[in-house]
């Protein structure tokens, strides 16, 4: 026969209550909370990244091959999300081979379906281009050691070289259209210490940049280090990811040109997207 000890029972186990919150929070709310926890408790960042890697190793990676071979753009986007998690959790050299496969499949899909110039296809190809830039930033981060920066191993170099080859191979399908992986190809070549790869097909970047004429005289100036500069500066960080960071090169240069035409000729460089200085230099 059951008897009472006089101790009141708990309403529920605390972990069950926490799981209820996780299961029922809107996705954006859960993301906001995780970001806040990581900011307020930076000591758990390594645990968060480690658990992400465990999840990817156990569950996610197995589905990547199937998703990449699909003809469905939405499935390719899901594969892209998993690859981004690899890049962000400290295993870029595991994610880069998959990123190369997605880049090739997306380019082939765009040409097979004859949607090279469609808005949806262009946006997706541009997002992959931005992912490659971020991948090279992740590579640089992975090479940091206590004594400085270590060189890439032979295996790591082979992985990055294969990605560069994959990106350049995609040019053939875009004759007469803008090559979508220009930024990624340049960033990858830079990571390998190589010169800019040949990108011969039609591009509007040079024409757009040449058409940018700033006003002959700014409305207000002040002296900075002995030079007269415009009163108003344009902070490049305000044009960084994700909106700016996932645009084709021609669109980025077009935006630079628009600002220059309105007198924003002095830029405060704060690069949050890996290759901003490179693109800005080529535009200016």
Render pLDDT for 185-210 as a digit per residue (tens, 0 to 9). Answer: 999 999 999 988 877 544 555 555 55
* Helices first, then strands: H and E counts in the chain: 12, 6
What φ, ψ does residue 219 adopt, rounded to 5°?
Answer: -70, -35
pTM as predicted: 0.76
CA distances from 70 to 65, 100, 109 (A): 9, 15, 9
Model confidence pLDDT, tens digit, residues 144-155: 998 999 999 999
Of 218 and 98, the one with more pLDDT: 98
Closest by CA to 236, choosing from 262, 210, 268, is 268
Cα 37 from chain centroid?
23
Strands (E) in the chain, as ranges, are: 144-145, 148-149, 221-224, 227-230, 234-235, 267-268
pLDDT over 90 (residue 230): no
Enter the tokens of residue 276.
């901003």
pLDDT class for 119, splitting at 50, 70, 90?
confident
Give every CB contact of residue 125 below 8 A, 6+ residues apart in sequence: 106, 107, 110, 180, 181, 248
**What mean pLDDT comes out for the span 154-166?**
97
**CA 123 – CA 103 distance, rounded (Å):** 13
Of 82 and 70, the one with more pLDDT: 82
pLDDT class for 214, splitting at 50, 70, 90?
low
Ramachandran sector of residue 110 (left: φ over 0; alpha: ψ -120 to 50; beta: rest)? alpha
The pLDDT score that the predictor gives to residue 110 is 84
The pLDDT score that the predictor gives to residue 255 is 75
The pLDDT score that the predictor gives to residue 60 is 72
Rounded to a whole number of angstroms, the CA Rg of the chain reads: 24
Report DSSP state, residue 89: T
Residue with tokens 């970001």: 35
Question: How many CB atoms lie under 10 A from the CB of residue 64?
Answer: 21
């Amino acid at each position: 026969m059951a008897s009472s000890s006089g101790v009141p029972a708990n309403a529920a186990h605390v972990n069950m209550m926490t799981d209820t919150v996780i299961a029922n929070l809107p996705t954006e709310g859960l993301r906001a909370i995780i970001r806040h926890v990581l900011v307020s408790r930076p000591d758990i960042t390594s645990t968060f990244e480690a658990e992400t890697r465990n999840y990817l190793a156990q569950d996610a990676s197995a589905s990547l091959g199937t998703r990449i071979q699909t003809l469905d753009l939405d499935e390719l986007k899901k594969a892209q999300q998993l690859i981004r998690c690899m890049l962000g959790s400290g295993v870029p050299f595991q994610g880069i081979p998959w990123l190369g496969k997605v880049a090739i499949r997306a380019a082939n899909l765009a040409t097979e379906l004859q949607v090279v110039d469609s808005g949806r296809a262009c946006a997706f190809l541009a997002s992959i281009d931005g992912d490659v830039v971020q991948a090279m930033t992740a590579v640089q981060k992975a090479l940091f050691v206590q004594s400085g920066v270590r060189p890439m191993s032979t295996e790591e170099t082979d992985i990055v070289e294969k990605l560069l080859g994959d990106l350049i191979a995609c040019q053939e399908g875009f004759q007469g259209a803008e090559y979508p992986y220009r930024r990624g190809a340049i960033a990858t070549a830079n990571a390998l210490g190589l010169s800019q790869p040949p990108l011969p097909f039609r591009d509007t970047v040079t024409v757009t940049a040449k058409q940018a004429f700033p006003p002959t005289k700014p409305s207000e100036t002040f002296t900075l280090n002995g030079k007269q500069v415009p009163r108003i500066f344009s902070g490049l960080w305000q044009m960084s990811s994700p909106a700016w960071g996932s645009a084709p090169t021609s669109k980025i240069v077009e935006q630079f040109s628009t600002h220059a035409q309105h007198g924003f000729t002095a830029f405060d460089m704060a690069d949050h997207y890996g290759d901003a200085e490179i693109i800005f230099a080529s535009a200016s």
